[in-house]
Amino acid sequence: METVTVPGNKPVRLLKWMVKPGDWVNYGTSLIVYRCIEDPSTGLKSKETELKSKKVGRVKKLVMEVGQVAKPGVEILVLDSCTHPVVMKDMCAECGVDLRLLKGRVNKQAQVSMVPNIPELKISEQQATELGEQDKARLHKLNKLVLLVDLDQTLIHTTQNQAFAHMCKDEEDFFTFQLHKNEPTLYTKLRPYCREFLLAISKCYELQVVTFGSRMYAHKIAEFIDPNKKYFANRILSRDECINPLRKSGNLRYLFPCGDSMVCIIDDRDDVWSGVPNLIMVRKYSYFPGSGDINSPDKMEAKKETDSRKDQVSPKEPATSCTTKQNATTPQAEAGDATNPRKRKSETDDNEKSAKMIKNSVTCDREPEENQNGNIGKSESVIMKDLEEEQKRENRNEEGKDKSNEQEG
């Protein structure tokens, strides 16, 4: 229940109602035309103004009549606000408002998804109960109950093992398909007498698929089993619509808001139904050796964990940090390297190479001095030998000079 009051801080005179009881009001809808009452001494006359709605709902009552004077803040209109009973992708089907813009002020009633193949369509619990009662009356009239049917290893067996491709030759009992272009080929075998069973049971039950396979997988299999939509129609609940990825029982209260007393279930697993009393266990159907339930919830959860771990792998670090990590060693690592003979030999060779490089660099530093003496390219021993021969020549020259002086004397 919402109310509309007189705006501003001056009294107003109501001139004309733009709505009547029962009308639907949206944001911006004109409600009433009014004029502010000015001080008579001024002699001024205010303009006519339209009061527009800032709320959504249906007009329940007009509190005041045309011609009356209302003070600021006085209630003039009562609205039955929209409870958003039908929601499609966060948009109310009744008033058209985008519920994401209401910032938490959304009525929480439209939370029930009763149409398996349209999970985005949600209705209020009140409407769900009304529809549930209508379904019960319809089933009573048809003298039928509801049968929830599992697919994998109940009606069919599917594998993606390419080794069994040669076995899938009979097009009536085998189905080969791909869900997406780059995904592996799937091979499906129909359980013997499956179609005969569905034909007989459909006379007493309204059939509905409930599977942990993906939405595309479930509809592909349904097209194979029931190409004319004679048994299942669009009553297919897949993993994408399941509330709990490990349990099917959580969907019962949404599919059947008035209770599941008229519901029967056939499945090869009882753990996914949390021990509900209306489950009939069937023998697990296994045609391809070594291949289990391709859509087992345990496998799907393990795959999700693996994918999440891959997503959590840290990105590659910059080259500088990698170099630092490679050069850094712990004391334990150094101690381990010291006891490794191959490591010690490698270090010795490296040390010898380093010493040789240092010696060469020193020799290169001395080359300019040797070049200054004109001994370019000569080794140290050759240079010493040249010096000795030069000294001998000088000695012989001095001896010759002494002899010549003696002869002259």
Dump pLDDT digits (tens) for 58-77: 898 898 889 888 888 889 88
Q: Classify the phi-psi angles of 57: left when phi > 0, otherwise alpha if psi is within -120 to 50, otherwise beta.
A: left
User: For residue range 220-244, what is the model confidence (pLDDT) as tens digits?
Assistant: 999 999 999 999 998 999 998 888 8
Q: Say whether both 172 and 193 belong to one domain.
A: yes
Is residue 306 predicted with pLDDT exceeding 50? yes
Domain annotation covers residue 27: yes
Domain annotation covers residue 315: no
Q: Over the range 337-355, which residues count as b (16 or more CB within 10 Å of their CB) and which as e?
A: eeeeeeeeeeeeeeeeeee
Tell me how far apart the alpha carbons of residues 381 and 379 are, in angstroms, rounded to a whole number: 6
Domain annotation covers residue 364: no
Residue 216 has a pLDDT of 94
Domain annotation covers residue 302: yes
Domain annotation covers residue 317: no
With beta carbons less than 8 A apart as the criterion, state whether 202 and 231 touch.
Answer: yes
Residue 186 has a pLDDT of 95
Please report which confidence band the pLDDT of residue 280 belongs to, taking 50, 70 and 90 as the band edges.
very high
Q: Say whether both 187 and 92 belong to one domain.
A: no
Cα distances from 184 to residues 79, 159, 160, in angstroms, run 58, 10, 7
Domain annotation covers residue 389: no
Four-point Cα dihedral 33, 38, 40, 43, nearest 10: -90
Mean pLDDT of 240-249: 87
Domain annotation covers residue 350: no
pTM above 0.75, yes or no: no
Q: Say whether both 177 and 260 belong to one domain.
A: yes
Domain annotation covers residue 408: no
Q: Say whether both 232 and 93 belong to one domain.
A: no
Using a pLDDT cut of 70, give the percent of the chain over it. 70
CATH code of residue 29 = 2.40.50.100
Encoding tokens for residue 20? 């009547």
Q: Say whether both 156 and 300 belong to one domain.
A: yes
Q: Say whether both 280 and 161 belong to one domain.
A: yes
User: For residue range 170-208, what is the model confidence (pLDDT) as tens digits?
Assistant: 778 999 999 998 899 999 999 999 999 999 999 999 999
Residue 12 lies in domain: 2-81
The residue that leads in pLDDT, 313 or 7, is 7
Q: Say whether both 18 and 94 belong to one domain.
A: no
Q: Say whether both 208 and 259 belong to one domain.
A: yes
Domain boundary among 261, 295, 310: 310
Total count of domains within the chain: 3
With beta carbons less than 8 A apart as the criterion, state whether 4 and 55 touch.
Answer: yes
Identify which of 133, 150, 300 has the alpha carbon closest to the alpha carbon of residue 210.
150
Domain boundary among 263, 280, 310: 310
The listed range with the strongest mean pLDDT (90-104, 139-153, 170-184) is 139-153
The listed range with the strongest mean pLDDT (106-120, 121-135, 282-296) is 282-296
Q: Say whether both 299 and 177 belong to one domain.
A: yes
Least confident of 28-42, 116-130, 300-314: 300-314
Q: Say whether both 77 and 89 belong to one domain.
A: no
Beta strands in 191-239 (DSSP E): 205-210, 236-237
Q: Say whether both 50 and 92 belong to one domain.
A: no
Residue 40 has a pLDDT of 61
Identify which of 303, 167, 51, 5 has the alpha carbon closest to the alpha carbon of residue 176.
167
> For 137-157, what is the HEC assignment?
HHHHHHCCEEEEECCECCCEE
Q: Say whether both 306 and 237 belong to one domain.
A: yes
DSSP 163: G
